[in-house]
Chain A
Amino acid sequence: MTATENAPSRAITARLRGVHKSYGPVRVLDLPELDLYAGQVIGVVGENGAGKSTLMGTLAGSVHRDGGEILVDGRPLVAGSTEAAAQLGIAMVSQEFPLVGQLSVAENLLLGRRPRKSKRRLLVDRAAQRAEAEAMLAEIGLSARTIPVSREVRTLPVPTRQMIEIAKAWGREPKLLILDEPTSSLGPVEAEMVLGLARQLAERGGTVLFIGHRLDEVRDISDRVLVLRNGKLVADLEPAEATEERLIREMVGGEVAQGEPKAPPATSPVLLRVEGLTADGLGPVDLEVREGEILGVAGLMGSGRSRLVHTIAGAQPSTGGRMLLGGESYHPRGAGDGVAAGIALIPEDRKEQSLVLFASIRSNVLVSVLKRISTRGLLGPGRERAEARKIAENVNVRMQSVEQPIGSLSGGNQQRAIFGRAFAAEPRLLLLDEPTRGVDVGAKAEIYKLIDRAAEQGMAVVAASSELEELLWICHRIAVMNHGRVVTVIDRADATKERIMTAAAGTSALERKTPDQEELTNGATA
């Protein structure tokens, strides 16, 4: 397209041919052909899961590509080796800062190497280390007074750590600098500094890959904007073409697979009412969910989707506001209170938060009902197997026996088993966080059916998801979050991807607050 055609003779920093990567059956990155030109800042945008991070990781060596060739300045890049990438001049600033908290700023900046000016081979030359660290910070425009290099890194706030990461990458004098949402944890002054550095490197003939979710920022800084969707490069735009509307349209895709618009069950009683709920990085939030209703929660990474769900479940402490569950005051002091009140939470990370992978299907699905199926606290193997089979068959888990390790099932089957476990506890309120993460397309549809069934049986469902199609498919209403608050609630009939994205991207960058930053340190959960 345009950017490519206009500059046929430009020097190429990195040439990607047929690069692809799959996780299980899901192809998360598929780039037949992509050239990154020297002297450019290249913006990369896309929805969550569009393949941005995979692309970056592939270039930086932290993701092992399945196939294809990458040439950096004509030299081939070995797959999956961070050292090889570093040797070819690729540096990445990721959102999870690989810093050693217990060491000083200077030691982190020079981690794994000696100061260049030091003559000592074995002994630490603190003076030289200090001097070089200060010089590295000065290179990116920070004085030693702003960041004392002898401080332990963990005593410094998140934005400072981000700047240290940037100084570290900058100090390697990269040819290709990858910045993964570098400004999301920074204040405006530092954000400006980082953008300046990106420009500076481009002017020197380097290349910057700039991933961002503030579309205006990406467009302003970039000489070229790439849009990824479902692992594919769907648009390659000049900054002038890359209007916010155009980018959103490309990101979400032309046609939207729409489900049958569902009318919210306006007549059923309200099950959960949330008033002024606040928690770390959340709120205040007001919400209502009716029995038999599926409420979607949309928002960008760090918007507080997952926090909202966790706070309602009692898994994250609330700091204010109140909740009414079935008309009664509900104030959970832990996840146990949530369960006791009839709430089931299906968290986003199956492996870490839901399952004991090496244990049997039986012991995994019975966790929620042990008390009910036991007789005076005792359990028998026959009873257990029968109950487990009932639970698994209820949600159509395909298995050989309930005794096989649950980790041997496919992702979709595992997720169904988790739904079965949740249903077995007969909850009133079902909370979902990324209900179909890591599940292939066919299995997704079956999970949507389970969610529908839950609602038909009268459960209230709150589903947080980064996939808009999913929300449009399953929900009666969609609450859009931005910076810890619900900015709007859209009825299914009026909801479009564009409308949700616009609300989620929010307004100016200056209003950003600490919740996002907190979230970045936890490395985490949107």
Chain B
Amino acid sequence: MSAQSTLAPEEAAPKSRPAAATLARKLAASPEAGVIIACVLVFVGIAANADTYTAVGNLQVMGRDLAQVGILAIGESLVILTGGIDLSVGALAGLAGILAAWMNVNEGMPAPLAILLTLVITACVGLWHGIMVTRLNVPPFVITLVTYTVAQGMALAITSGSPINNLDPMFSNLSQYYIGQIPVPALFFVGAAAVAWFVLERTYVGRQIYAVGGNKEAARLAGIPTARRITSTYIASAVLAGVVGILVIGRMNVADPSVGAGWELTAIAAAVVGGMSLSGGEGRIAGIAAGAILLEFITNGLLALKVSPYDQQVVQGAVLGVAILLDRVRARYFGRSRS
């Protein structure tokens, strides 16, 4: 390369470095690696101090919890990738459970039909979000906050505040079955993560979602249908919330209208801890899944460590704070900065 050339990337000759150092640098430069390592450290740390933590029963509990927060986080992260936010996922999950239960128990619909209809309704909610955001330029925060309020209210209105019992056994079968030792909902989480990963990393649609989030103008000029891509993420997020709602009523064998509120914040936290940038265009599914797992490890671990329930939230918040602080420090030193 000519001495005058200004094109060379700043680290022009990485070949000369030892392979291990290059690998270490690569790991340090990727936000996902940090979360995964944190997962391992937290798990090992808590396991060493609380013997119940690694018991099969407890691991299964964590698996089922993951199906809730983790799946929501995956849907949420798709929306965040486009630079938006979906505050409705928790409330929508709650409403979806109520709707499915109500159609099944009060209207006597067979469970599969009730589930299908519920998912169609949530998809319509997502479509509504997408249209409002892309056509009418309503801020995502606002339109999904509206849905949050309405969904929570509808769950209460439908049930008059009291839980719906006597669900079709199909619901609980869905949530309480095991394949091998693994609870089925955990497999839903793995499945959702795998599909999301595949779409984002391996399809044009997925890459275009990154482009839209990273630089909307560039994407538009390149002929990418930005409105459609954005809308699709809201639909995916809402449908995944519906799935979570259905899994939850199966797990508890009752549809409780107070379920779901506040879960959107955990989902957003998992996405952020997992390396998503709230301004869009950045973050990978591996990181988000790891972020959700990390949060679950901590939440469950605090129980296992018998931390007073009054202190748990403080500890959770502190751990989140430290994780985000470390990530910013890392980003500062390894170039892939984001904000």
A247 vs B213: C-alpha distance when bound (angstroms): 44
> Closest residue to B338 on the A side, CB-wise?
A102
CB distance from B82 to the nearest CB of A (A): 12
Q: How far is the CA of A111 from the CA of B214 in the complex (A)?
A: 12
Asked if A83 is at the interface (CB within 8 A of a chain B CB), the reply is yes
A82 touching B214, Cβ below 8 Å: no
Q: Contacts A98-B217, A155-B9, A160-B7 hold; do A103 and B224 have CB atoms under 8 A apart?
A: no
Q: Which residues of the partner chain A approach B206 to less than 8 Å between Cβ atoms?
A: 124
Contacts of A146 in B (CB 8 A): 1, 5, 7-8
Q: Are B215 and A99 in contact (CB under 8 A)?
A: yes
The chain B residue with its CB closest to the CB of A147 is B7
Stretch at the interface among B39-47, B148-156, B197-205, B258-266: B197-205
What A residues does B217 contact at CB under 8 A? 98
B135 near A: Cβ within 8 Å? no
Q: Is the CB of A155 within 8 A of B202?
A: no
Residues of B within 8 A of A155 (CB): 9-10, 335-336
Q: Which residue of B lies closest to A98 (CB)?
A: B218
A159 adjacent to chain B (CB < 8 Å): yes
B171 within 8 A of A: no
How distant is A152 from chain B, measured CB to nearest CB, in Å? 7
Chain A interface residue count, CB cutoff 8 Å, equals: 36
* A83: B residues at CB distance < 8 A: 223
Known interface pairs A111-B211, A160-B7, A163-B7. Does A100 touch B218 (Cβ–Cβ under 8 Å)? yes
Report the minimum CB–CB distance from B199 to chain A (whole Å). Answer: 9
The secondary structure that dominates the A interface is: loop
The answer on a CB contact under 8 Å between A157 and B10 is yes
Nearest chain-B residue to A101 (Cβ)?
A: B214
With A111-B224, A147-B7, A190-B6 known as contacts, the answer to whether A102 contacts B202 (CB < 8 A) is: no
The answer to whether B214 and A142 touch across the interface, beta carbons within 8 angstroms, is no
- Residue among B10, B204, B335 having the largest count of chain A Cβ atoms under 10 Å: B204
Q: Are B6 and A187 in contact (CB under 8 A)?
A: yes
Interface string of A93-117 (1 = CB under 8 A from B): 0000011111100011001111000
Q: Is B222 an interface residue (CB 8 A)?
A: yes
Is B210 an interface residue, CB under 8 A from the partner? Answer: yes
Chain A residues lying within 8 Å of B1, measured Cβ to Cβ, are 145-146
Most chain B beta-carbon neighbours within 10 Å: one of A100, A145, A151, A157: A100
Contact B282 A103 (CB under 8 A): no
* A124 and B5 contact, Cβ closer than 8 Å, known pairs A82-B221, A102-B210: no
The CA of A123 and the CA of B336, in the complex, are separated in Å by 27
Tell yes or no: B16 within 8 A of A by CB.
no
A124 to B197, CA, bound (A): 13
Q: Is A156 an interface residue (CB 8 A)?
A: yes
Q: Which residues on A sit within 8 Å (CB–CB) of B208? A: 112
Return chain A residues, CB-CB under 8 Å to B219: 100, 111-112
Nearest chain-A residue to B224 (Cβ)?
A112
Minimal beta-carbon separation of A513 from chain B (angstroms)? 11
Q: Which residues of A contact B25 (CB under 8 A)?
A: none
CA distance A375 to B43 in the complex (A): 59
Interface size classification for chain B: 20 to 34
Q: Tell yes or no: B281 within 8 A of A by CB.
A: yes
Tell me the complex Cα distance, A146–B282, Å: 25
Residues of B within 8 A of A189 (CB): 2, 4-6
Please tell me if A67 contacts chain B, counting CB pairs below 8 Å. no
Chain A minimum-CB-distance residue to B206: A124
- Complex formed: what's the CA distance from A108 to B219 in Å? 9
B67 to chain A, nearest CB (A): 28
User: Chain B residue with minimal CB distance to A160?
Assistant: B7
B207 at the interface (CB under 8 A from A): yes
Contact B281 A102 (CB under 8 A): yes
- Let me know if A157 and B7 touch, CB within 8 A: yes
A186 located at the interface, meaning its Cβ lies under 8 Å from any Cβ of chain B in the complex: yes
In the complex, A506 has a CB within 8 A of chain B: no
Are A100 and B210 in contact, CB atoms less than 8 angstroms apart? yes
Residues of B within 8 A of A99 (CB): 215, 218
> With A and B bound together, what is the CA distance between A377 and B206 in angstroms?
54
Which of B8, B203, B215 has the most CB atoms of chain A within a 10 A radius of its CB?
B215
Residues of A within 8 A of B10 (CB): 155, 157
The answer to whether the Cβ of A122 comes within 8 Å of any Cβ in the partner chain is: yes
B7 touches A159 (CB 8 A): yes
Q: What separation, in Å, do the CA atoms of A112 and B213 have in the docked complex?
A: 14
Give me the 7 closest cross-chain CB pairs, A-B, nearest first.
Answer: A112-B222, A187-B6, A98-B218, A100-B214, A111-B222, A102-B214, A159-B6
A residues bordering B, Cβ < 8 Å?
82-83, 86, 98-103, 107-108, 111-114, 122-124, 142, 145-148, 151-152, 155-157, 159-160, 163, 186-190
Given A98-B215, A111-B222, A124-B203, 18 additional A-B pairs, CB 8 A: A86-B223, A98-B218, A100-B211, A102-B210, A103-B214, A108-B218, A111-B218, A112-B222, A122-B204, A123-B202, A124-B206, A142-B7, A145-B1, A151-B9, A155-B336, A186-B6, A187-B4, A189-B4
Task: Name 28 A/B residue pairs within 8 A (Cβ), A-sorted.
Answer: A83-B223, A100-B210, A100-B211, A100-B214, A100-B219, A101-B281, A102-B210, A102-B213, A102-B214, A102-B281, A102-B282, A103-B210, A107-B211, A111-B219, A112-B211, A112-B223, A113-B222, A114-B204, A122-B205, A146-B7, A155-B9, A157-B6, A157-B7, A159-B6, A163-B7, A187-B5, A190-B6, A190-B7
